[in-house]
Structure 1
Amino acid sequence: MTGTAAEDRPRIEPSTRVLLHDLAVRRDRDEWIVGRMATRTFVAMPAAGARAVELLGQELSVSRTARMLRDETGEEFEITDFVRDLTALGFVARIGDTPVPDGEAPRASLPWLRPRHVRFALHPVLPVFAGALLAAAVAVLIRRPALLPGYRDLLWSRHGSLVLLSGAAAGWALVLAHELAHLVTARAAGVPGRIRLGTRLQFLVMQTDISGIELAPRRHRLTAYLAGIALNVSVASSMILVLALTGTGTTAHRLLSAALLLALLPLPFQLMVFTRTDLYFVLQDLTGCRNLYGDGLAYAHYVFRRALRSPRSPRSGGTGEPTRAGDPSTRLPAHERRAVRLYSVVLVVGTVVCLTFMAAVTLPADITLLVRAARALGPEHGLAANADGAAVLVTLGGVNVLWAVTRWRERRSRASAKAA
């Protein structure tokens, strides 16, 4: 922070009173989650911090807040520093008579959609309906296992371009519906939410930021995390029931089989929790971790650095036993520490396997397809060959270009956030 910026900050005296923005508070195990929904900023605090927020919210002075906390806990608290921290988080609207500049709130997707419009998404009967639909589909498959599609069902037409374009259109439509399920469920819980493109390793994904759901009851949180998976399963179940009523070998049957496979294909990806899928957030919530991915990555870096260190380096104290001073997991509660260390193994192994598969299979296959498509273009080839080549270049090439652009934007955004 520059000297000018520091001088512009309002002075905080013992008699100073602050006005807080509208904050939400929820107890979570031994801590409290305090956040501001308008800016989607949230932080975990000990009980004393939550109590300080409560007292400051009553517009008590800094000195009186400190005195009441000392009387209640028997400990001294630096409320002045605490107010500065709250100000940096954007939780303070005014210090004394001086307004605190407020940042721009993140944009929400479909801002016209109000919680009252989608309250049904949190109704307890909805999971029961989805479960009944799944049970009916499983019963049909037990009687008619031939309805379960294979990879050949994706090749429903002789024209590769038609298969590729229709598959891409249907696949992205299902992805959008998946993310809308997250958005609608979060909006029903009062969380704005925003849908945008993102990357997970080599994958281009559509993702929904539902920051703020941390303040909702657990049932609402888990419903929001699992809403996308539930939609895919419900669509697949419906397809199976409709398939049972259509004639085998008809165009409608082939199209439904292809759509069923497209609805099922994203589900195995959800098991890749090292890429922060929907099941990752369920796992993070159930383990009570604040940042399972970030803490797991930090611990993996620590283990890697320790493995490269000489056994008798200065950090080991000359005993051959490395010290634990640099272990970032030691600052975590015991239940988080165990989860983070286990997750770090999954994170490292999963990432290595994914990137190896990309280098050995996906990337060579993409390059081969793109080269073949480029060679198929030209007046010496027929109309069908040109159409197929153009479709491959537009679809496959477009996805790769979009991944590169999205990745670059993410890196630039993170760099800007660090600079700020």
Structure 2
Amino acid sequence: MSLTLNSTLSMVPIEIRKDNKRYIIEDQTSGEFFEMPEVCIDAISMICKGEQLGDIERVLKRNYPDEDVDLLDFAQQLIELDLIDKIDGNKVEIQHKAKAKLGFIWISPRIGKFFFNHFTYLLYGAVFIINIILFLLHPSLFPRHDDIFVFDIMVINLIFWMVFTFLFVLIHELGHVLAMRAHNLPTKLEIGHRMFFVVLLTDMSSVWKLTPKDRNVLFLAGLCFDSVLLFISLIVQLMFPNGHWFIIGLMNLAVFDAVLRVIYQCCFYMKTDLYFVFENITGCYNLMEMAKQTISKKFSFFKSKSSEEVVFSEEIKTVFLYSIFYFLGVIITIVLYIIYFIPEIIYAGKQLLPGFAQPPTSLQFWDALIFSLQVSIFIILLLYSWWKKYRLNKM
């Protein structure tokens, strides 16, 4: 089946929505979304009316003199995106991609709206500001590197920290899920990773059905729940400064986890929630890919293997601004390592090393041995993950 300027095309069922700067096209068969400029939308509109590609090209060249209009190339791109159903009446063979199976539809939108409405938006904002004020008034509340060591036995500390962190991550993701359900959108939870951290991720692919303003609420929903948890932890510490050691240790760990989670969101070199908010506000999507592409052209030592991204002239300043945030995120990570993670390792080492000098019948010996084995397994898995990623990049 060959394309010519005399060809007419039929498209698969699609829905077009106006976005910040361009338009979002939803493939209603596969559930995938694509961003396109106005000239492409006009082309699609005329394609749907059954006009020939040559006629469409002449009209668009007249209406968009500054655009490089090539309808044969554009039609080929639509075919590759599986958006073309027929060419000159002949069926196009499409590799049908099934829609991702999303769930949580058993959660009523009313429940979602209970947690995310105009009143709660103000409440979450107020809680966030109060948390900052509490830290300014009581600097001693700010987390310290030894807050994760609630118990004297390191193995119990590690297990307790992993379980505690998982629960906090689950609550964070629950915020995203409830925000999605508030707009009656399905979703699901997936396991992913950020650098060497295993994380839960909420599938938010259907947010493109919403306006940019509503999308921001969904992106910030996890941080809203984090702010509430942080507020509760700070208030408990202030109300019971001389409380039971376990409760105080638990609240210290909660503050540690919540604060670092918020700071971590500022690491824009990863696709964090705040990264998506920034992307959404600017209307400049695929920012990370475009920034890496720009940086790789400026610095020969930074090689980007991602596919070539088209950077429009009006996006250059936004990409440059994001590149600054990108490097700031790297600096934030280094600072976190210096202030928290490296001192934690040193502290753990000081607690564990004497245990190896104890007899095998002692609790200290087995605590040091089991903890070291746990850390070793984690490091081996991490090195394997990096090696596997390196091999894929070399292919």
* TM-score, normalised by the number of residues in structure 2: 0.75
Contact in 1 for aligned 2:20/2:212 (Cα 8 Å): no
Tell me the CA shift for residue 385 of structure 1. 2.8
Identity of aligned residues (%): 18
CA distance, structure 1, for counterparts of residue 46 and residue 357 of structure 2: 72
Instruction: State the AA in 1 paired with 2:27.
Output: R
CA distance, structure 2, for counterparts of residue 306 and residue 384 of structure 1: 47
State the SS of the aligned residue for 2:14. Answer: coil
1:276 aligns with 2:256: no
CA distance, structure 2, for counterparts of residue 188 and residue 93 of structure 1: 34
1:382 aligns with 2:372: no
State the SS of the aligned residue for 2:94. Answer: coil
Instruction: State the AA in 2 paired with 1:52.
Output: A
The answer for the alignment partner of 1:73 in structure 2 is: 63
Deviations 1:67-107 (A, max 9, x none): 89459838796544433311211223444341532343464
Contact in 1 for aligned 2:190/2:202 (Cα 8 Å): yes
Report 1:20-419 matches (<5 A).
20-29=12-21, 31-36=22-27, 39=30, 41-57=32-48, 60-62=50-52, 66=56, 69=59, 73=63, 78-95=70-87, 96-105=89-98, 107-108=100-101, 110=103, 112=105, 116=109, 119-120=112-113, 122-134=116-128, 150-186=144-180, 188-189=182-183, 190=185, 192=187, 195-200=190-195, 203-246=197-240, 248-250=242-244, 251-305=246-300, 331-334=311-314, 336-348=315-327, 350-351=329-330, 354=333, 362=342, 365=345, 376=356, 380-394=360-374, 396-404=375-383, 406-407=385-386
CA distance, structure 1, for counterparts of residue 211 and residue 274 of structure 2: 18
Contact in 2 for aligned 1:199/1:407 (Cα 8 Å): no
Check 1:196–1:98 CA distance in 2 against 1; reply closer, same or farther (3 A cut).
Answer: same
How many residues are matched?
383
Check 1:107–1:34 CA distance in 2 against 1; reply closer, same or farther (3 A cut).
Answer: closer
CA distance, structure 2, for counterparts of residue 99 and residue 377 of structure 1: 72
Check 1:137–1:270 CA distance in 2 against 1; reply closer, same or farther (3 A cut).
Answer: closer
Tell me, which stretches of 5 or more residues in structure 2 are unaligned? 303-307
CA distance, structure 2, for counterparts of residue 39 and residue 412 of structure 1: 31
Contact in 2 for aligned 1:185/1:227 (Cα 8 Å): yes
Contact in 1 for aligned 2:43/2:60 (Cα 8 Å): no
Check 1:413–1:389 CA distance in 2 against 1; reply closer, same or farther (3 A cut).
Answer: same
CA distance, structure 2, for counterparts of residue 169 and residue 259 of structure 1: 12
Contact in 2 for aligned 1:36/1:42 (Cα 8 Å): yes
Contact in 2 for aligned 1:56/1:62 (Cα 8 Å): yes
Larger mean Cα displacement after TM superposition, 141-150 or 101-110: 141-150
Contact in 1 for aligned 2:16/2:23 (Cα 8 Å): no
Contact in 2 for aligned 1:369/1:392 (Cα 8 Å): no
Larger mean Cα displacement after TM superposition, 245-254 or 289-298: 245-254
Contact in 2 for aligned 1:182/1:208 (Cα 8 Å): yes
Check 1:278–1:412 CA distance in 2 against 1; reply closer, same or farther (3 A cut).
Answer: farther
Contact in 2 for aligned 1:37/1:191 (Cα 8 Å): no
Contact in 2 for aligned 1:133/1:234 (Cα 8 Å): yes
Tell me the CA shift for residue 136 of structure 1. 6.0
Computed over aligned residues only, the root mean square deviation of the Cα atoms, in angstroms, reads 4.5
Contact in 1 for aligned 2:16/2:26 (Cα 8 Å): yes
Larger mean Cα displacement after TM superposition, 338-347 or 111-120: 111-120
Tell me the CA shift for residue 166 of structure 1. 0.6
Contact in 2 for aligned 1:161/1:391 (Cα 8 Å): yes
Contact in 1 for aligned 2:291/2:322 (Cα 8 Å): yes
CA distance, structure 2, for counterparts of residue 358 and residue 143 of structure 1: 26
Contact in 1 for aligned 2:267/2:330 (Cα 8 Å): no
CA distance, structure 2, for counterparts of residue 105 and residue 261 of structure 1: 42
Deviations 1:248-289 (A, max 9, x none): 231333323322322222111122222332222222223332
State the SS of the aligned residue for 1:289. Answer: coil
Instruction: State the AA in 2 paired with 1:51.
Output: D
Tell me the CA shift for residue 221 of structure 1. 1.5
Instruction: State the AA in 2 paired with 1:224.
Output: L
Deviations 1:157-176 (A, max 9, x none): 22222222111111122123
